[in-house]
Every structure is written in structure tokens, then in C-alpha cells.
Amino acid sequence: MSSTLSFAQLVHVSVGPVAELPFRHGTVPSGIAKRPVRGPVQLGRYGLVGDAQGDTVRHGGPDRALLAYAAEHYTAWRDELGLLAPAAFGENLTTLGLLEDKVVLGDVYAVGTALLQATQPRRPCYKLGAHLARPDLPRLVQDTGRTGIYLRVLREGQIAARDTLRVVHRSRHGLTAAQVHHTMNVDRADLRAARRLLHHADLLPESSVRTLTQRLAGVLEDQTDRLSGPEPGHRPTHLQTPPSHGTTRGCP
């Protein structure tokens, strides 16, 4: 595991409404287009006041109330994507110092008057590519590990840009968001790593537990629909069963 978090700060706090996102020859509803807010923003159990998700069945919820994305990643993407506007990756919180290899699932952070807890890495989907007009971007995000991190709200309150995030609880198991992402989405043939994650099944969404269990039984899930989007006239295979709140679907 990488060194522990020493300093983290909110660079931007962003919200956005649901709008129609152009995709192929049509549109899909999405809340991925967000803009920074000036001043304090009220944060409730399900997210920031003024923010919304395009699919409230499969996205959002208390375990993914907020998406954090590292400002350091914007620098890393510059050669590939050029200069990007704030919240270009659909995040609510653009952060400094909150990197996937430093965040342990279950870590708790005090920020503003709120308490937040890291729950899972984002699984990028085709809506991110549609938003930035780069259909290959979800796979690039997945391959680089610059995914972002979902957070739940343990205590409601107000947060604002430039607030610091202070670690108030560090989970002892040491399982980072980067490690979970790598096992779930990149090195999917590593059954030893899958078994290790299942030893911490209480930390994982129900869908991840099912996916890992199926892998150990020899069944490997298809990521095509999530990363590239469903073909016209086809229902996405990864959306066939509406998930409960314990899901790893990553599109806003």
C-alpha cells in the first residue's frame, strides 16, 4: 500500500442537473455535466443540494453520495486530453491529495462540518466518453486507474472549496481503492486477488461480491456495454437486473 494520506483539500465543489447527453444517434439522461459552486454547499445523506443523477435506480444512493476526483489526474491527462474544465469527469469534489492508492475503503474524513467515508472506486462507463466526446476514455480511465472514489455521508453538514479533509478514522485492513479497482476491472484473471477481496466482502457492494464469486466459478463478466455503451436496440447486459443500493455501477 502507498504511504498514508498526509494532506487533502477540496479544490472545487460541483453540482449539476439531469440533462440529455448526446450519445450515438440519440441522447441518454445524465447528471455528469457539473459546475463548481461558490461558497458553502449543504450536504445531505444522498449528496449535495442542487446535484442530481440521470438514473436514480442504478446511480447515486447513500453509498455513492459523492464522487471525488483528484486534481492531480487533470495534470496527468493534459497530454492526452488537453486543458479541461473543472468537474470534467463528472465529480462532485475535485480534490488535492486524495489519490486512489492512498484511500483505504472505510476511511473517514472530516471536511467542513460534515463527515465522509470512502466506499468504493468508480467504475467508468460510456457516459464519461460521451460527455467528453472521447469514446475511448472510459477504457483509458480504467486502464490508468485514475478512476475517482465514491464517498458516503456519515454526518450531514456544509462543505466548500478550499476546505481541508482530515482523516479521523483509518481502516486497519489496508485495502485501497486502487487495489479494489485493479482486481475488479483490470487484472480480472487474478483469482488470488479475487479471494482476498472476498475476505472483505462486508466492504464491497453486493454486485462486486457476486462478480467475484462468479469469477471463482469460472464465469468472467463482459465489460463491453459498460465501457462502450449498448448497441442500438440492445438492452445493456450489465443493467439486466436492477441493483440494490450496494452496486458498483459508475455512470451518473
Residue 219 belongs to some domain of the structure? no
Residue 119 belongs to some domain of the structure? yes
Predicted confidence (pLDDT) per residue in 37-65, tens digit: 999 999 999 999 999 987 665 568 899 99
Question: 4 pLDDT band (50/70/90 cuts)?
Answer: low
Q: pTM score > 0.85 for this model? A: yes
Residue 228 belongs to some domain of the structure? no
Q: Is the Cβ–Cβ distance between 34 and 11 less than 8 Å?
A: no
Predicted confidence (pLDDT) per residue in 102-159, tens digit: 999 999 999 999 999 999 999 999 999 999 999 999 999 999 999 999 999 999 999 9
Residue 51 belongs to some domain of the structure? yes
How confident is the model at residue 248, as a pLDDT? Answer: 44
Residue 207 belongs to some domain of the structure? no
Predicted confidence (pLDDT) per residue in 156-208, tens digit: 999 999 999 999 999 999 999 999 999 999 999 999 999 999 999 999 999 99
Q: Terminus-to-terminus CA distance in the chain, angstroms?
A: 29
Q: Is the Cβ–Cβ distance between 50 and 37 less than 8 Å?
A: yes
How confident is the model at residue 54, as a pLDDT? Answer: 77
Q: Which domain holds residue 162?
A: 8-175
What is the average pLDDT across 220-236?
81
For the chain, what is the mean pLDDT?
90
Does residue 242 carry a pLDDT above 80? Answer: no
What are the backbone angles phi and psi of residue 24, rounded to the nearest 5°? 55, -120
Does residue 239 carry a pLDDT above 60? Answer: no
What span, in angstroms and rounded, lies between the C-alpha atoms of 115 and 94?
17
Residue 180 belongs to some domain of the structure? no
Residue 153 belongs to some domain of the structure? yes
How confident is the model at residue 237, as a pLDDT? Answer: 40
Does residue 240 carry a pLDDT above 60? Answer: no
Domain count, the chain: 1
Looking at per-residue pLDDT, the higher value among 126 and 5 belongs to 126
Domain at 158, CATH number: 2.40.33.20
Residue 209 belongs to some domain of the structure? no
Residue 237 is placed in which grid cell? Answer: 447486459
